Amino acid sequence: MKQQGAHPEDTEGTPDASSRPDTAKEPGGAHRDVAHIDEVEGDEPLLPARVHRPSDLMRLVGGVLAVVVLLAIAAFAHGTTSGLEQDINKGTGQAPDLLIKIAGLASSIAILLVPVAFAIERLIKRDGLRIADGVLAAVLAHGVTLATDLWVARAAPDSIQDALTQPSPGDIHALTDPVHGYLAPVIAYMTAVGMSRRPRWRAVLWVVLLLDAFSMLVTGYTTPFSIILTVLIGWTVAYGTLYAVGSPNVRPTGRTLMAGLRTVGFRPVTASREEAADAAEGGDRGRRYFVTLEDGPPLDVTVVDREQQAQGFFYRAWRNLALRGFATRRSLQSLRQALEQEALLAYAAIAAGANAPKLIATSELGPDAVMLVYEHTGGRTLDSLDDDEITDELLRDTWHQVKALQSRRIAHRRLVGDAIVVDRSGTVILTDLRGGEIAAGDLLLRMDVSQLLVTLGLRVGAERAVASALSVLGPDAVADCLPMLQPIALSRSTRATLRRLARDRAEREREAVLEASRHSRPPRAHEADDSRPVVLDKAGKKAVRAEQRAEKRAIDEALDEAREEDMLSQIRQEVLRIRPQAPVEPARLERVRPRTLISLIAGAIGAYFLLTQLTHIEFGPLISNAEWGWVAAAVLFSALSYVAAAMALLGFVPERVPFLRTVAAQVAGSFVKIVAPAAVGGVALNTRFLQRAGVRPGLAVASVGASQLFGLGCHILMLLAFGYLTGTEKTPSLSPSRTVIGGLLTVAVLVLVVTSVPFLRKFVVTRVRSLFAGVVPRMLDVLQRPQKLVTGIGGMLLLTACFVMCLDASIRAFGDESTSVSIAGVAVVFLAGNALGSAAPTPGGVGAVEATLTVGLIAVGLPKEVAAPAVLLFRLLTLWLPVLPGWLAFNHLTRKAAL
């Protein structure tokens, strides 16, 4: 079968039978046509004609940052820029006039001729796509220069304008251009067409650019900062264009592979593409081919090109940033570095006594690919073996190979199933050493042990995996890896497998609980007639409590039977049986978490927004004129909100839970939401509190889910109702404002988009189902107690009212009658800000809530001199001041085993 998606030269141009001059002999004596030796067999996926290289994106980001830094220097270091311009003008003023004229004439001609000449050269070599990319980049760069000129002339600070312009020599009343309208497009064009890979053309370009910059500086038509900004804009736009449209895919063809094998002394006959391996680790492991030779045993060839090497760049970059104490290999290596690293690891592994593929040749396949030639190993991967084929001897052999690597301080870094190959004789061979490390530290070596324990445990169980490791490495070495048994230390594919197994376990436990609940609840005689309330006597109440206790025991027993330990816990228990004193506390491997990074960015944005609003406010007179009675009212409403939150929770818990302790738990939530997102911290704390109060875990989650679901519904209804009132309060007719209609239409469009896109629909359904699983049965229990439902809904309404009144009191504390805002307007602003704060991933919605409330209050007519301090007071009373009481309440409940 011929290669699918191969380049035309892989299959075309082969001579027909009448023109075949010779034949080649196979090892078995059969003859094969020499004309077919350049064909690659096997199914190969069709690769895209263009690829988006992470290196282009990184250069784009670097260029944008450089432009920002340059403008910052021009804005804040005015003295330095002026001095630099004077020194340059003084030095260039001594240049001979003849030299200046020659340089100006030559550069003005060459700046146009060089791009045209390069385009002709590329067209002759049939590389028109690169010319099209260059023209597009030039057009975009010209547009950016025009926009920059307009911004500098009309909106930029005076310091930036002084750094980028100066009086024109021909007209003292006019200013020079901040960015050269022809130089930036030329730089963008030459960068986008790939001149950096052609040294001669690059040298010519730099000479032309230097001559042009020199002539412009000497004649006074530009400034040094203008020249630098022009170069940066052209460079940045070029790489932005390349990343947006993609670069031509320069994957080496099958004929290139065959030719490369001949250059290193082999005579290939056929090459077949092996089945693509799992790309979960970043997809940069290279393409693999099985090659047969005219004489000698077959070969395994790995080809790595720039496009494939760039895959997984962002994942590796994040791992390097996030992990503490060690780093993975460089996020973006050159092809030469990748070749040298893999060759070094191959030789080092064999020298250590481990079974690894023997590297016998390496070579470059042009400027964009390299190949590594190994002796053919054959065999099957551990993932493809049947369970009965994985014997204890095979497990011990695998650990012996790892022990050999670790004896020479070599870390494999990817001991997953497809990296462990078993040949026909049953010998274990470790492959995929490309991502390994030599002279590795103890942390990396222990991570290898923990990774292999999990890999084997997923196939043969924790008991056999740990037993085989103990028999080879010894109990001390295995016990030392326990702190590494955490998801962040495992490979990407292993983490995905563990998450899938965790979802399956949770689903089985939930089904067992629901099944036990259905079978343990007999029909009750007093529930036969729902048309009128039933008054139970003392005996009836005892019978009901007995039924509830029986149902609880049945559910607990079913949950105990269905509960399963995850693989990491099973491995820990097996190791602790041998070494009870082994350390089990997970080592802290993360330097920074995504949540922390997002929190810092969002907090910085919110702080910047608030500071820009506060810089124009004089707080001295504002505070001296503040109404402290309204401040006290805001404090009272803030304190009352915790009572309302306790009512909103207990209204959906049929079991008896102490009210005052529930209020204390809501106060403790003020501390928790500072260290966790608002939509996550409160849910986790309330669920834990209910479990400690005697509510079964599944029912506790269902109660909190029911509270969240009703809260979401009430929130949406109140937002619509108050929005409607806000739109009609100043008009005689009851017609909503255009803003409300626009908001509703926007929400409707978003809902339609989410429901129409399969990925988004699946994401939302999965999250909602996991959050509100078991809510419906729980709501049926609550509906049997109408007073509970009234308490819950009343608590939600009271909670919203407390926050709205607190914000209104904060506004009245700094405003007067002329700056008052209606309660409906304040309610709309609060509900919108609270919704955004719950959706924001930052703790307590920091940054998002402040910005939304301030903008909302200004939008409803409140001056920013009142809106900004009112929001600060509101957030101080509802977020920051309760942190200390929340911490005290959290510690108190923890000591009382209530959390």
CA atoms within 13 A on the CB side of 733: 3
Q: How confident is the model at residue 353 (pLDDT cuts 50, 70, 90)?
A: very high
Q: What is the mean pLDDT of residues 435-459?
A: 90
Q: Which of 170-174, 208-212, 621-625, 667-671 has the highest mean predicted lDDT (pLDDT)?
A: 667-671
445 vs 591 pLDDT, higher one: 445
User: What's the average model confidence in pLDDT over 472-491?
Assistant: 89
Closest Cα partner for 800 from 868, 719, 739?
Answer: 719
pLDDT for residue 569 is more than 60: yes
* Residue 110 amino acid letter: A
Residue 167: φ, ψ to 5°: -60, 135
Q: Give the 3-state secondary structure percentages of the chain, helix then strand then coil, rounded to 5.
A: 65, 5, 25
CA-based end-to-end distance of the chain: 65
From 157-171, 444-458, 614-628, 727-741, the region with the lowest mean pLDDT: 727-741
- Of 377 and 556, which is predicted with more confidence? 377
CB 690 within 8 A of CB 704: yes
Q: What is the pLDDT of residue 83?
A: 55
The predicted structure's pLDDT at residue 642 = 93
Burial string for 305-322 (b: 16+ CB within 10 Å, else e) reads bbbbbbbbbebbbebeeb
Q: Mean pLDDT over residues 188-213, rounded?
A: 73
CA distances from 173 to 154, 353, 471, 485, 620 (A): 16, 80, 88, 72, 45
Three-state DSSP at 430 gives strand
Alpha helix segments (H runs only) across 352-491: 392-407, 442-460, 462-473, 475-479
Query: What confidence score (pLDDT) does residue 676 get?
Result: 56
Mean pLDDT, residues 166-186? 75
Which is more confident, 600 or 558?
558
Mean pLDDT of 230-238: 90
Average pLDDT, the chain: 75
Residue 350, pLDDT score: 93
Highest mean pLDDT among 116-120, 299-303, 540-544, 607-611: 299-303
**What is the predicted pLDDT for the residue at 29?**
39
Q: What percent of the chain has pLDDT over 90?
A: 15
Cα(131)–Cα(129) distance, rounded to whole angstroms? 5
- The answer to whether 300 touches 316, Cβ cutoff 8 Å, is no
Better pLDDT: 542 or 85: 542
Q: How many helices (H) and strands (E) does the chain have?
A: 34, 15
What DSSP element (H or E) covers 428?
Answer: strand 428-430
Pairing of strands 428-430, 50-51: unpaired
At residue 705, the pLDDT reads 76
In angstroms, the CA 713 to CA 156 distance is 47
Handedness of CA 502, 503, 508, 512 (dihedral sign): positive
d(CA 141, CA 510) in angstroms, rounded, equals 59
pLDDT at residue 677 greater than cutoff 80: no
Is pLDDT above 60 for 542?
yes
Please check whether residue 707 is in contact with residue 648, taking contact to mean a CB–CB distance below 8 angstroms. Answer: yes
Q: For position 396, what pLDDT does the model report?
A: 94
- Tens-place pLDDT, residues 845-857: 666 777 788 888 8
Give the model's pLDDT for residue 19. Answer: 35
Average pLDDT of span 223-234: 86
The pLDDT, as a whole number, for residue 893 is 87
pLDDT band of residue 93 (cuts 50, 70, 90) is: low
27: confidence class by pLDDT, cuts 50, 70, 90? very low
| 776 vs 563 pLDDT, higher one | 563
Residues 789-840 have pLDDT tens digits of 888 888 988 999 999 999 999 888 887 766 677 888 888 888 877 776 665 5
Give the pLDDT band of residue 867 (cuts 50, 70, 90).
confident
Confidence at 744, pLDDT banded by 50, 70, 90: low
> What's the average model confidence in pLDDT over 67-96?
64
Q: pLDDT value at position 702?
A: 75
pLDDT for res 833 = 77
User: What's the pLDDT at 813?
Assistant: 87
Q: Kindly indicate the confidence band of residue 32, based on its pLDDT and cuts at 50, 70 and 90.
A: very low
Detail the DSSP E strand segments found in 275-395.
Answer: 287-293, 299-305, 359-364, 369-375, 380-381
Report residue 110's pLDDT band, with 50, 70 and 90 as the boundaries. low
| DSSP β-ladder status, 247-248 and 268-273 | unpaired
Query: Is the confidence at residue 87, as pLDDT, over 60?
Result: no
**Residue carrying the six token digits 């409590």:** 545
Q: Comparing 429 with 367, which gets the higher pLDDT?
A: 429
Instruction: State mean pLDDT over 674-682.
Output: 59
**What's the pLDDT tens digit per position in 612-631?**
555 555 556 656 677 888 88
Predicted local confidence at residue 18, as pLDDT: 34
Dist. CA 484–CA 488, nearest whole Å:
9
DSSP class of residue 649 equals H
Output the pLDDT for position 212.
Answer: 73
Q: What is the pLDDT of residues 146-156, one digit of tens each?
A: 888 888 888 78
Question: What is the residue type of 196?
Answer: S
Residues 6 or more apart whose Cβ sits within 8 Å of residue 323: 488, 589, 590, 591
Its pTM stands at: 0.58
Three-class DSSP category at 244: helix
Give the model's pLDDT for residue 390. 93
Closest CA to 355 of 377, 332, 323: 377
Q: Average pLDDT in the 707-714 region?
A: 77
836: Cβ contacts below 8 Å, ≥ 6 apart = 845, 848, 849, 852
CA atoms of 862 and 436, how far apart (whole Å):
61
DSSP letters for 304-327: EEHHHHHTTHHHHHHHHHHBSS--
Is the Cβ–Cβ distance between 691 and 665 less than 8 Å?
no
Confidence of residue 308 (pLDDT cuts 50, 70, 90): low
Helix (H) or strand (E) holding 688, with range, is helix 678-692
Instruction: State how far the Cα of 842 lies from the Cα of 678, in Å rounded to an integer.
Output: 8
